């Protein structure tokens, strides 16, 4: 298994998209004064602890033109959020509470307003940063004249996101500089955006150099499809996002097909032999889990899975209060899943409190069984509407029973001794769940 920092074994992330959270303007006005808004987020750190989390995974906080993923300066805080002093104060407030901070690094591409690309537009092929990008000059480099713009590779067809050329040493030097700069300032690690679009050899080089300075940094890449273990092994990163499990959770519950979830859990168990995945039910890029699920009662089943299988789990801010929001494939289609939050948690609707209490219960259970971080999971029994699996590690063993059936279900629960969470009766090696019930059992 990939060796990750020891502290990661105990972390549970609360994931925040800062620009949306603080209600920042969707497009930065270059003439606007700095808006000191990071204090808004600081006011929620105690909420994070009350939830049962111990780390905050921040979305982009660096200068950009719009949504944060079109970076214009990796070494400057976005003026819509504040300045260096504001981020330093936030990092200090988190450290005082023992909260780890994960930053979001966009290193596959930059915004068109990034100085490195502006130099190319102004100076042509002779710009000192021309090697940073994959450029094609009309008529060839020798034919360039002022005002002629090159063709360039971009990120997935978005011309505002200019792809970097990761074969050049200058890009690697820049990324290492940025990552170590903010680790020096107090961050604990990095989420690497669109890591799947970057050659793994680049990540391996960068990870090695960053760890020379910060051996305890957690480096996690966004990878959606493909060979997760192979990517981790080749990139030298600690982990990648577990989208397979995310999809299987809501899809199997909606379709009354827990065989899909069982298959994903077996795959997940294979991954855990090589690395510990970053697990989640929601993030800033997908429809919220409360909106994705056809039956709101299944939110509990989904959360039980997140809390009881191996992984470094993350809760997307608002999901702990059953926020709803549907992502749409259009301009502004992310807005519903990236809303502003009130000044304090006390201003949230009380309608979300039962979901918050359930998160507290299940995340508390996970903290008391820290071995779940790298637990091995075995599917014991599965049917369309019922599933029983065991999570085991470091001398501990839990049984998890799920049912979406409309009638009570009696399932095998070999060795079950105590009900830790949920509603169930234990009878001679079997567990009886109410209609649509679930249970976490100690064995």
CATH code, domain carrying 383: 2.60.40.1180
Percent of the chain with pLDDT over 90: 96
Mean pLDDT of 427-436: 95
- For 408-426, give one letter per residue: b (16+ CB within 10 A) or e: ebebebeebeeebbbebee
> Do 269 and 306 fall into the same domain?
yes
- List Cβ neighbours of 142 (8 Å cut-off, separation of 6 or more): none
pLDDT of 1 > 60? The answer is no
> Do 324 and 434 fall into the same domain?
no
Domain range holding 393? 378-442
> Do 232 and 259 fall into the same domain?
yes
HSE-CB for 170 with a 13 A CA cutoff: 9
CATH for 282? 3.20.20.80
Round the average pLDDT of the chain to a whole number and report it. Answer: 97
In a domain, 30, yes or no: yes
Q: How far is CA 138 from the centre of its chain?
A: 40
**pLDDT tens, residue by residue, 130-179:** 999 999 999 898 889 999 999 999 999 999 999 999 998 999 999 999 99
Mean pLDDT of 184-206: 98
Q: Report the chain's terminal Cα–Cα distance, integer Å.
A: 26
pLDDT at res. 179: 98
> Do 45 and 177 fall into the same domain?
yes
Mean pLDDT of 265-279: 98
Confidence of residue 331 (pLDDT cuts 50, 70, 90): confident
DSSP letter for 167, please. T
d(C-alpha 77, C-alpha 81), whole Å: 7
> Do 404 and 329 fall into the same domain?
no
* Domain stop point among 159, 186, 210: 159
Confidence of residue 73 (pLDDT cuts 50, 70, 90): very high
**pLDDT tens, residue by residue, 217-259:** 999 999 999 999 999 999 999 999 999 999 999 999 999 999 9
What is the number of domains present in the chain? 3
> Do 333 and 365 fall into the same domain?
yes
* Domain stop point among 125, 159, 193: 159
Which pair of tokens denotes residue 71?
Answer: 């970076």
């Amino acid at each position: 298994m990939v060796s990750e920092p020891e502290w990661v074994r105990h972390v549970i992330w609360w994931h925040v998209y800062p620009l949306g959270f603080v209600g920042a303007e969707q497009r930065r006005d270059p003439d606007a004064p700095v808006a000191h808004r990071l204090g808004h987020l600081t006011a929620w750190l105690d909420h994070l602890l009350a939830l049962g989390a111990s780390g905050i995974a921040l979305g982009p906080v660096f200068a950009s033109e719009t949504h944060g993923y079109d970076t214009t300066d990796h070494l400057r805080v976005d003026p819509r959020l504040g300045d260096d002093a504001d981020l330093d104060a936030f990092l200090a407030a988190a450290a005082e509470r023992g909260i780890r901070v994960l930053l979001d690094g966009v290193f596959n591409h930059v915004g068109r307003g990034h100085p490195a690309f502006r130099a190319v537009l102004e100076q042509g092929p002779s710009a000192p940063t021309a090697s940073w990008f994959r450029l094609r000059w009309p008529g060839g480099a020798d034919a360039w004249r002022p005002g002629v713009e090159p063709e360039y590779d971009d990120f997935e067809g978005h011309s505002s996101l200019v792809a970097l050329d990761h074969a050049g040493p200058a890009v690697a030097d820049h990324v290492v500089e940025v990552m170590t700069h903010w680790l020096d300032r107090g961050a604990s690690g990095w989420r690497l955006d669109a890591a799947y679009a970057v050659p793994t050899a680049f990540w391996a080089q960068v990870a090695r150099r960053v760890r020379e300075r910060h051996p305890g940094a957690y480096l996690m890449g966004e990878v959606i499809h493909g060979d997760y273990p192979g990517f981790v092994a080749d990139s030298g990163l600690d982990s990648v996002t577990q989208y397979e499990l995310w999809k299987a959770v809501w899809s199997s519950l909606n379709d009354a097909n827990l065989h899909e979830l069982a298959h994903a859990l077996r795959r997940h168990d294979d991954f855990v032999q090589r690395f510990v995945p970053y697990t989640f039910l929601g993030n800033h890029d997908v429809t919220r889990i409360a909106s994705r699920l056809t039956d709101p009662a299944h939110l509990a089943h989904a959360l039980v899975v997140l809390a009881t299988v191996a992984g470094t789990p993350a809760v997307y801010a608002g999901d702990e209060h059953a926020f709803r929001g549907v992502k749409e494939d259009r301009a502004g289609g992310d807005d519903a899943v990236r809303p502003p939050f009130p000044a304090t948690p006390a201003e949230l609707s009380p309608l979300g409190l039962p979901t918050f209490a359930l998160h507290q219960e299940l995340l508390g259970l996970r903290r008391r069984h820290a071995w779940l971080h790298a637990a091995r999971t075995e599917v014991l029994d599965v049917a369309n509407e019922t599933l029983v699996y065991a999570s085991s590690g470091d001398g501990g063993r839990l049984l998890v029973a799920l049912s979406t059936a409309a009638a009570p279900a009696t399932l095998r629960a070999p060795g079950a001794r105590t009900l830790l969470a949920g509603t169930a009766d234990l009878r001679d090696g079997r567990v009886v769940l109410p209609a649509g019930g679930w249970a976490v059992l100690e064995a």
